[in-house]
Amino acid sequence: MNNGNGNKIANKFVVPIGPQHPALKEPEHFEFTVDGETVIDATARLGYAHRGIEKTAESRTFVQTLYMMERVCGICSHVHATAFSLCVEKLAEVEAPPRAQAIRVLVAELERIHSHLLWLGVGAHEAGFDALFMYSWRDREVVMDILEALTGNRVNYSANVLGGVKCDVTDAIRDQILTGIDYLEERTHHYYDVVTTDAAFLQRTRGVGTMTKEQAMRLGVVGPTARGSGVEQDLRVDAPYAAYDIFRVNRVVEQGGDLEARFIVRVKELFESYRIIREVLDNLPEGELTARMPRRIKEGEAITRVEAPRGELFYYVRSNGTDMPDRVKVRTPTIPNMASVLHLAIGHQLADVPMILAGIDPCFSCNDRSVRLKSAGGDDVWTWEKLRKYGIDYYND
Amino acid sequence: MTELNPIIALMFFPGGIFVMLLGLLYVWINRKLRARLQNRVGPRWFQPIADLFKLLSKEEIIPEDANPTLFVVLPVLALAGVLTAALYVPILGMKAVHSVPGDLIITVYLLSLVTMCIGLAGANSTGRFSLVGVTRTLTQLFSYEAPFLLALLSPAIMAGTWQISEIVDYAGGRWLMFTHPISFIIAIVALMGKLEMPPFDAPEAETEIVGGALTEYNGRGLALFKLSHAAEMVIGFALVTALFMGGTTNPLLWAVQTLVLLLVVTLIEVLMARMRIDQTVGLWWRYGSVLAIVQIIVLVVWQRIVL
């Protein structure tokens, strides 16, 4: 059970998972060395869905970049736009009006509901529990419809504009949200019962992929994965942004550290989201939706940290005084969580690996960025000519 | 039914075409029921047949490292095994076409032939997912086979014969599922293991090992394996019906009985999460086999003392 450097792996039997594999919804490559059914080593190769978004941002205006940043992730698009907007607003020394900040929180929580329900289905599917998968995805449609009614889109909502939000909450939409939330809350009580009491399902989650608090701290995991291991960390509480200082969040922390705890944390966070949404709708501040933004952003640099459904999302933006960002850096929550998968998989059955992988709620295309090629050697900085030559040589071989 | 021409019995009814079509129908009912229980729409009635024809019309690609003869022959062997088993089992509530002493054992082993063929086919196709799948398929075979046989053994022991028709005569229309409840339940659940239905679908768990032992199979070979699985389902239900649910009756009652069994099996399928292979083995050897033996002991003791 050592970490792949012992002599046990003389006769390697490697099970490749990905880049194309039914368990993965996005391309990523994992190699699990197994001894019978037991995993004795795990490696990952990231970068299949690298799209060069950070680089592209440098040749687009701030407004254009906002919409592109939404496309970093298809599931948590709003939180990316929020992080970028907050960052640019910080640079421009503009503050979005209170109503806009509250609507940002509203959409963020609706998005969290949709993301967690989606994850619940994926997690259940990996365990071969397709009934839960189908039902949770059916109920997810309710929140998708709400998001569509509110913003006009199901996936990339574009609720944010620099300096505020684009959509307002009318009475009709308010009623639709409240009705939808009531229905979802009732359903979520049922799902909570399933993940905590269903014997067949607990067989696959209880005691599987256990990560202690110390391990979680050492591996630097974030978000619900960390909170499932008893790490008290939630940026909505620790460093409130947007309107989270008005609408206080209660941190959901579980001590178990296993998959069951991760399921419980996420389902309990759903209840928390329902509560916050009701609170926001009851106390929505009156006023403008947008503040005036300058086209050229002052020179300087800024960072923001927000709590995406998967954990801490980090944005760094540097401006050189023009209407285009000089540098945008994104760190998505899947990167710190990915290390925990490779660590936890070792010693487990091969059958548990997809569950452990799904347990961190991975989002591969968010996490993909340019990688250093293994065999490249030489300098870290490559010129365009060198990269082009490398590509030509690679395909000529 | 003993008057039937052997060729007709083998090719059309009750073996051959009839069992295959019935199998595809049952596969459709199973898929449709599961879909409705999961709040989905589900396939239309001809979907399994359409799938079959699609696969049959496709090019068959044989992996480089595989033995081509074995690769082609194994699916045929599997189907042949199942269709032969159809001759020994009362289908549609009618007497079995063939009856020889010990045909219960023959049937059980002909049904296991499918699993063995799938195992060999997977090992022959040398893919990594296939190899993991094969290990699991065979591990599962060794875990459910004993309880399955023990469960079928309890009516056989009571009747004092290994011949299905004589067991049916012994039952004489009585539903043995009430006097052999544990064996009945074990037989059904073991049948699910045999058919690799959830929660016993670890050998073909798509989220781990893609298609299990049959990952490398395509076209004709895959179609024949799917067909053997479909036919195996019908014969498995027919066997359980004959032994535990009143033996030979009439076609209508037989259809109702097997459909009820199918409904029960589908319900279990929908309600459970997939079990890991070690959990499956544990379940069968820790509980399944022991309970089956307890059932037999109780019946034997009861027979000796009371009768």
How open is the CA angle A387-A388-A393, to the nearest 5 degrees?
A: 100
**Chain B interface disruption, residue of A35, A120, A129, A208, most B CBs within 10 A:** A129
Residue of chain B with shortest Cα separation from A133: B38
- Whether residue B128 lies within 8 A of chain A, CB to CB, comes out as yes
3-state secondary structure labels for all residues of A128-188: CCHHHHHHHHHHHHHHHHHHHHHHCCCCCCCCEECCEECCCCCHHHHHHHHHHHHHHHHHH
pLDDT for B64: 84
Q: Which residues from B are below 8 Å from A130, CB to CB?
A: 38, 198, 270
Within 8 A of B208 by CB-CB distance, chain A residues are: 23, 350-351, 353-354
Tokens of A370: 């340019």
Q: Would you call A352 an interface residue with chain B, using a CB distance cutoff of 8 Å?
A: yes
Indicate the domain borders of chain B. 6-306
User: For an interface test with B, which of A204, A206, A208, A263 has the most B Cβ atoms less than 10 Å from its Cβ?
Assistant: A204
Nearest residue on chain B to A24, judged by CA atoms? B207
- Torsion angle of the four alpha carbons A115, A121, A127, A131, in this order, in degrees rounded to the nearest 10: 170
Count of CB pairs separated by less than 8 Å, A with B: 81
Q: Cα(first)–Cα(last) distance of chain B, in Å?
A: 34
Token reading at A293? 């933004």
Query: Does A148 contact chain B (CB < 8 Å)?
Result: no
C-alpha to C-alpha distance for B159 and B123, rounded to whole angstroms: 40
Q: Which residues of B touch A200 (CB under 8 A)?
A: 199, 271-273, 275
Alpha-carbon span B70 to A28, nearest angstrom: 34
Rounded Cα distance, A124 and A205, in Å: 10
Contacts of A263 in chain B (CB under 8 A): none
Q: Where are the alpha helices (DSSP H) in chain A?
A: 53-57, 62-69, 77-92, 98-126, 130-151, 171-197, 199-205, 213-219, 223-227, 235-238, 259-282, 334-345, 353-359, 364-367, 384-396
Measured between CA atoms, the residue of chain B closest to residue A31 is: B128
ipTM: 0.82
**CB nearest B199 (choices: A14, A126, A128):** A128
Taking a C-beta distance cutoff of 8 angstroms, is the pair A156, B303 a contact?
no
The DSSP letter of residue A97 is -
Q: Do A130 and B202 touch (CB under 8 A)?
A: no
The one-digit pLDDT tens for each residue of chain A (397 residues) are 333 444 444 467 888 887 888 777 788 888 888 887 888 888 888 778 888 888 888 889 999 999 988 888 888 889 999 999 999 999 988 988 999 999 999 999 999 999 999 999 988 888 888 889 999 999 999 999 999 999 888 888 888 888 889 888 888 999 999 999 999 999 999 999 988 888 888 888 888 888 888 888 888 888 899 998 888 888 888 888 888 888 888 888 888 888 899 999 999 999 999 999 999 999 888 888 888 888 888 899 999 999 989 888 899 999 988 888 988 888 888 888 888 888 888 888 888 888 888 888 888 777 776 555 555 556 666 777 887 888 888 888 7
CA–CA separation, A97 and A102 (whole Å):
9
Domain ranges of chain A: 53-339
**CA A111 – CA B281 distance, rounded (Å):** 42
Taking CB atoms and an 8 Å limit, are B277 and A15 in contact across chains?
no
CB A112 within 8 A of CB A309: yes
**Model-level pTM greater than 0.90?**
no
Contacts of A191 in chain B (CB under 8 A): none
Q: What parts of chain B have a pLDDT lower than 70?
A: 1-4, 247, 307
User: Are A131 and B270 inside 8 Å of each other by CB?
Assistant: yes
Judging contacts by C-beta atoms under 8 Å, the chain A residues touching residue B199 are: 128, 200
| Residue B277 touches partner A, C-beta closer than 8 Å | yes
Tell me, what's the pLDDT at B27?
Answer: 92
CA distance A342 to B13: 55
Amino acid in the structure at residue B155:
P
Q: Which fold has domain A53-339?
A: Cytochrome-c3 Hydrogenase; chain B (1.10.645)
